[in-house]
Amino acid sequence: MQSMEAGSQGDLDAFDRHVGADGKVEPQDWMPAAYAKTLVRQISQHAHSEIIGMQPEGNWISRAPSLRRKVILMAKVQDEAGHGLYLYSAAETLGVSRDELEQQLLDGTAKYSSIFNYPTLTWADVGAIGWLVDGAAIVNQIPICRCSYGPYARAMVRICKEESFHQRQGFELMMALSKGTDAQKRMAQDALNRWWWPSVMMFGPPDGESVHSMQNMAWRIKLFSNDELRQKFIDMTVKQAEALGLTIPDPDLRFDEASGHWQVGEIDWDEFWSVVKGHGPCNRQRLAHRRDAHEAGAWVREAAVAFAAKERARSARKAA
Amino acid sequence: MAAAAEQARSKADDADLFEVALRLGDSALILGQQLSGWTSHGPTVELDIALQNHALDLIGQARLFLDYAGRLEGKGRDEDKLAYFRQAGEFRNCLLAEQPNGDFAQTMLRQLFYATYARALYAGMEAEGEGELAEIAAKAEREMAYHVRHAGEWVVRLGDGTKESHKRCQTGLAALWPYVHELFMADEIDQRLIAAGILPAFEDVKVEWMTSVSSVLERATLAIPEDDWMPSGGRQGQHTERLSYILGEMQSIARSDPEAKW
């Protein structure tokens, strides 16, 4: 892998110029080791988030209240599995193996989006996740379609198309509830109350505290700051909540005439860091579920390998 | 086409057609519901996606059959009223569909058995029948052909894989084999529909099933169990204890407020 070779100052300068001029980097190109390392971390975290993200929504497949909602939800969770696969493939172009990355998820050394460490307590949470969590994901991910690393940018184009479909489906589910019975409206409001702040926190810590931001922006892995993206999401979502007739759970929320943006009250960063450090309501549950599935499937994977070896031996005997 | 469909319809009683649409729809629904339980539990992400695909096919087929059944009945019951507001005793799925997922070997065997049956049945319905039921069967037949291939490949891989996978397959086979006989037992309703050319002869479906399944099991180095216990009655509404649990979970939200739109 060329990226693992130390480059000269000239290589570094040429790389910076290329990326700075919006040039794309492909797997065979020389790249600084730190650039590759950052991408592996970011792409694999994203892949892990898709895989872990199957759990909170998968939780409601068996109980979806209509067959139409059931197939929509199943197809959505299936898309997430597919996104996980494209992203693992994009990461593999940087010289790591999927097994290695999956192992990091299982042993708890890799991170994934903290949003999936919150529980889905009612059917309305399926709508709230589609509307808010996928909505936030799109705001985060659309710029990545233009990021400097080609395989990542291309994977994101397809993922964003599917995510925007999911977001519309989630919004439509919330609309059905908010136009429904009093109990359904309460369910929708309760889901918004629980998912609003975690969604706002999905963009990561405020710009001043974000450790990787500066270099990543120079390398065009990140095109906008956490706070810029967060603001975009807030402005977009406040209007949508209004259309749904739901109330954003923030007494300090106000429209700032001077900037033309909605301003939220104080974000509880202690909660954010606590969930990141493993103390969210479902961190242990999500990881245990993934480990159980992995361990329960070990004999299947071993059988597939053993069968393939037998088949190879059989065709070698035939050829001989 | 419309005239031919009308003629086929007139040869069969609407009540019989309603019953067969429920039998096929309920089997697809219950099997799809159970298969969807593998989501995020699959042995690999690829298999997770494949199982979800198959569950989606089955629930899609269930929607077509149940929607048709509801319109035939003409009492204002749509696919959701039929899926969510009937008790276990009103369900007409085969007993095989309500057998537990078990391990991955058992799930794949159940899928092979059901898909091989459904494909042969649907192919016969498509060839002989006319009208909407035959059209649904034609669509479903193409999907089931893929399920037969996928499940068959996995049964061979697991049967002829490791000692452990072989043993798990043989255990799954012993658990499921009793429930395959019901698939080929024609009651009076089936016989009338066979005579009307809506359903194919069950003996033919059985011959095709045995030929196809025994060839897979042979390649998988698995021994076919003895035919001894042959439970039946699912297609007439007599189920195992499991079905009411499956329905209890599936119907819980819909039943929490029968007037609500979701």
pLDDT tens profile B65-117: 999 999 999 999 999 999 999 999 999 999 999 999 999 999 999 999 999 99
Whole-number Å distance between alpha carbons of A118 and A197: 11
Tens of pLDDT along B27-48?
A: 999 999 999 999 999 999 999 9
pLDDT at A129 over 50: yes
The pTM (predicted TM-score) of the whole model is 0.95
In CATH, which of 1.10.150.120, 3.40.50.920, 1.20.1260.10, 3.40.47.10 is domain B2-223+233-256? 1.20.1260.10
pLDDT at residue A22 in the model: 93
Q: What is the mean pLDDT of chain B?
A: 95
CB contact under 8 A, B83 and A67: yes
- Distance of residue A293 Cα from the nearest chain B Cα, in angstroms: 5
In percent, the amount of chain A with pLDDT more than 90 equals 93
Banded model confidence at residue A3, pLDDT cuts 50, 70, 90: very low
Whole-number Å distance between alpha carbons of A159 and A136: 14
pLDDT at B2 over 70: no
pLDDT at A5 over 90: no
Identify the bridge partners of residue A261 per DSSP, sorted by sequence position: A256
pLDDT at residue A114 in the model: 97
CB contact under 8 A, A297 and B49: no
The residues, any chain, with a CB within 8 Å of residue A37's CB and separated by 6 or more, are: none
Average pLDDT over residues B152-171: 98
Residues of A in Cβ contact (< 8 Å) with B39: 54, 58, 61, 74, 77-78
Whole-number Å distance between alpha carbons of A174 and A129: 10
Residue whose C-alpha is closest to residue A195's, from A233, A164, A168: A233
Banded model confidence at residue B1, pLDDT cuts 50, 70, 90: very low
> In a 10 Å sphere around its CB, with 0-12 CB exposed, 13-18 middle and 19+ buried, how is residue A110 labelled?
middle
Tens of pLDDT along B216-242?
A: 999 999 999 999 999 999 999 999 999
> In a 10 Å sphere around its CB, with 0-12 CB exposed, 13-18 middle and 19+ buried, how is residue B246 labelled?
buried
Q: Which of A64, A69, A303 is closest, CB to CB, to B161?
A: A303
pLDDT at residue B216 in the model: 98
Q: What is the 3-state secondary structure (H, E, C) of B58-71?
A: HHHHHHHHHHHHHH
For residue B183, CA distances in Å to B116, B122, B147, B226 come to 11, 13, 18, 17
pLDDT at residue B11 in the model: 60
- Distance of residue B7 Cα from the nearest chain A Cα, in angstroms: 32
Using the Cα atoms of residue B142, residue A70, residue A61 and residue A192 in order, give the sign of their dihedral: positive
CB contact under 8 A, B55 and A74: yes
Using the Cα atoms of residue A31, residue A35, residue A40 and residue A42 in order, give the sign of their dihedral: negative
Q: Which of A183, A298, A304 is closest, CB to CB, to B257?
A: A183
Average pLDDT over residues A99-122: 97
CB contact under 8 A, A78 and B43: no
pLDDT at residue B128 in the model: 77
pLDDT at residue A209 in the model: 83
Residue B209, helix vs strand vs coil: helix
- Distance of residue B158 Cα from the nearest chain A Cα, in angstroms: 6
Residues of B in Cβ contact (< 8 Å) with A304: 157, 161
Tens of pLDDT along A24-33?
A: 999 999 999 9
What was the ipTM of the complex prediction?
0.95
pLDDT at B200 over 70: yes
Residues of A in Cβ contact (< 8 Å) with B33: 62
Average pLDDT over residues B158-182: 98
Q: Which of A74, A82, A289 is closest, CB to CB, to B36?
A: A74
Nearest CA in chain A to B251: A63
DSSP letter at B49 equals H
CB contact under 8 A, B40 and A181: no
Whole-number Å distance between alpha carbons of A38 and A2: 16
- The token pair at A274 is 């606590």
Tens of pLDDT along A264-275?
A: 999 999 999 999
DSSP per residue over chain A, as a string? -GGGSPPPHHHHHHHHHHHHTT--B-TTS---HHHHHHHHHHHHHHHHHHHHHHHHHHTTGGG-SSHHHHHHHHHHHHHHHHHHHHHHHHHHTTT--HHHHHHHHHTT-S---GGGGS---STHHHHHIIIIIHHHHHHHHGGGGGSSBHHHHHHHHHHHHHHHHHHHHHHHHHHHHHTS-HHHHHHHHHHHHHHHHHHHGGG-S-GGG-SSHHHHHHTTS--S-HHHHHHHHHHHHHHHHHHHT---S-TT-EEETTTTEEE-----HHHHHHIIIIISTTHHHHHHHHHHHHHHTHHHHHHHHHHHHHHHHHHHHHH-
pLDDT at residue B4 in the model: 58
pLDDT at A2 over 50: no
Structural domain spans, chain B: 2-223+233-256
- Distance of residue B239 Cα from the nearest chain A Cα, in angstroms: 20
Q: Which of B39, B56, B103 is closest, CB to CB, to A71?
A: B56
CA angle A19, A24, A25 (to 5 degrees): 90
- Distance of residue B51 Cα from the nearest chain A Cα, in angstroms: 9
Tell me which residue has tokens 């450090």.
A277
Average pLDDT over residues A79-108: 97
Average pLDDT over residues B49-73: 97
pLDDT at A292 over 80: yes
